[in-house]
Amino acid sequence: MMNVKRLLSILLALVLCLSFCAFASAEDDLSEEVHLIIYEVGDAPADQALVEAAINAKLKEKLNTTIEFQFTTWTDFQQKYANTLISSGADLIYIANWINYGLNANNGAFLELDDLLDTYAPELKEMCGEGNLNMCRVNGELYAIPSLWSEYVSLGIKYREDLRAQYDLPYPNSIENIEAYLSGIQAQDPSQGLLRPTNTEAAASLNIGFDLAYLLAVKYPWVAPYGMPYGLTANYDTPSDVYDYWFSDDFVDDCKLFKRWADMGFWSKSALSDTNDNEAYDNGLAVAEVAGMNPTSRSPLPRTLPRIIPSGRAPTSLTARPPASSIPAMRPRTAPRSCVPASIRSAP
């Protein structure tokens, strides 16, 4: 139980951005050093070891505890994540809805936290608030501590500004202009690859280069790029008005549009069997990425952050003009990350 208390103390320390108030009281027994493993999804960030060392210097002083960040990398991350849960190989672990949080919680992968928060970390519980904690509940039980920052999800199209300017083509900021941009490059240089669709294996690894569902976000102000389950969707300004996209005239028109694009050769006829190259755009083998990724993720581009509206509503403008080689043609949104790091594994 002492280790659990240390875990919650460390969670509070991380949430407070290493301000390191006095988490341990005078009666706490800190004579035994504890080493904890925090498992994260993705690649380790630059200077991760330096940050970890700085955190540990404070944790060692205050709590006689050290932590170790481990990362799945993006290669086979889903299998590695599952193996870590099965083997109980971590003390804290990143969770999210896209990494099967609800399913894993139902299967007993995590430790229930309500009583522990009340006993050992009431400050953390107060800081999170009941609303945020309730978003992390599964069947009424709390298994995760929510992140308290809002993530800006920038749905955009990355494109080749040099080719657009060279051939005097329109900015690809609408369905019509995207077609004109692609067909214009095709006419000038038939050997140039245009779009690199993403096969199933690559999509499972989040290596997405072109996805028609994200392209539709250019045309429709949907509440989510993919709409909602079973063909239902709703527009952002009228979220309570749900309609059936699959049985609409829009769906038929869009299918005809994409069939025409396929016939025009905007992507390979063998796209489903091609080995995906998630670096096709970087290597000049594609002239656009339509994948819902952050347009400023390319290292040569300035990393200017857009204005974030804390309420979660879509921002009406950005604080700075987007880089010339990326146009946020899809509607930007803010979204609270309801349940992210970390959840405590169930004790054996």
Residue 182 CA to its chain's centroid (Å): 28
Q: How far apart are CA 34 and CA 265, in angstroms?
A: 59
Q: Is 280 exposed, middle or buried (CB count within 10 Å of its CB: 0-12, 13-18, 19+)?
A: middle
pLDDT at residue 190 tops 90: yes
Instruction: State the residue for tokens 């999170």.
Output: 128
Average confidence score pLDDT of the chain: 74
pLDDT in the model for residue 7: 53
pTM of the model: 0.57
Mean pLDDT for 28-56 is 89
pLDDT at residue 295 tops 70: no
3-state class percentages of the chain: helix first, strand second, coil last, to nearest 5: 35, 15, 50
Q: How far apart are CA 316 and CA 332, in angstroms?
A: 9
| C-alpha count within 13 angstroms, C-beta hemisphere, residue 64 | 11
Backbone torsions φ then ψ of 90, nearest 5 degrees? -145, 155
Coil, helix or strand for 157? Answer: strand
pLDDT in the model for residue 293: 55
∠ Cα 170 154 296 (to 5°) = 75
pLDDT in the model for residue 121: 87
pLDDT in tens, 234-289: 988 898 899 999 999 999 999 999 999 999 999 888 777 766 566 778 788 889 88
pLDDT in tens, 113-138: 999 889 888 988 998 899 989 988 99
Distance (Å) of CA 87 to CA 9, 80, 81, 94, 346: 24, 10, 10, 16, 11
DSSP for 215-256 reads HHHHH--BSSTT-SGGGEEEETTEEEEEEESTTSHHHHHHHH
More confident residue, 309 or 184: 184
Query: pLDDT confidence of 326, banded at 50, 70, 90?
Result: very low
Query: pLDDT confidence of 6, banded at 50, 70, 90?
Result: low
pLDDT in tens, 85-114: 888 888 899 988 888 898 899 999 999 999
